[in-house]
Amino acid sequence: MTKEIELIKQEVNNRRISRLCHFTQSRKLPHILGDLQGIYSIDSLESLRPDIVDKNDPLRLDGQPNHICCSVEFPNSYFFRQAASREKIFKDWVVLIIKPEIIWKVENKYSYRNAASRPTPIGSGYQAFAKIFAPSVTGSAGMTFTRTNVQLASCPTDVQAEVLVKEVIPKQDILQIAVTTEEQANEEKNRLDILKIKLEHISFIIAPHMFDGSWVNLIKAGKYPREKIVDFS
């Protein structure tokens, strides 16, 4: 393990970062959990399965089509609302909860604000990752974000900060699927059962705050939003 990776790992542990988040349309779950066995970057997917490529962010102004956009601890609810509003047919979305060990994967990149902003905020290595948690950062629209005295240490200063993961996140590194309601959890589980796709170690959690953005004010006040694991028994 290189020194840079060791420093990132130590930072993750010190801050008690428990996960990465990646939002996607629920109709993609059969591919992610079934035939593909993972989340793939746009470049990788266009090589493997060009027939199913469907971009959440068609412009990819970050210039990183071979990386998967993830957020630390909670998803980028602002970008989610933009992506969801563009979708006129498929309205169901989920957030995939990913092991924190993926954060220090080799060739990852880090952005202390929205990665599509200019000048580019994307960097590599420990310093780029640590800047995500700087006391104060300038966001993509020029607004300054400052950490509160009680803000959860695990959460970025600018909630649109990103971890860009190279090429693929294997299914084995997906921990949970976050949904808005128990009804949605049952619907998604039934669809996967019909297709004979096994969840294996993956559980469903009810976390409406991930979709409506209400988590932002909570984490700045030092509070972790309540989440419920779904019991299908």
Give per-residue pLDDT as tens, 17-46.
999 999 999 999 999 999 999 999 988 888
The total domain count for the chain is: 1
Q: Which of 164, 54, 62, 200 is nearest to 119 (CA)?
A: 62
Task: For residue range 95-120, list pLDDT tens digits in order.
Answer: 999 999 999 999 999 999 988 888 77
What residues make up the domain containing 44? 1-230
Q: Is the pTM of this model over 0.85?
A: yes
Note whether 25 and 90 are within 8 A (CB). Answer: yes
Cis status, amide bond into 58, omega within 30 of 0? no
Mean pLDDT of 128-146: 93
**3-state SS of the chain: helix, strand, coil percent to 5?**
35, 20, 40
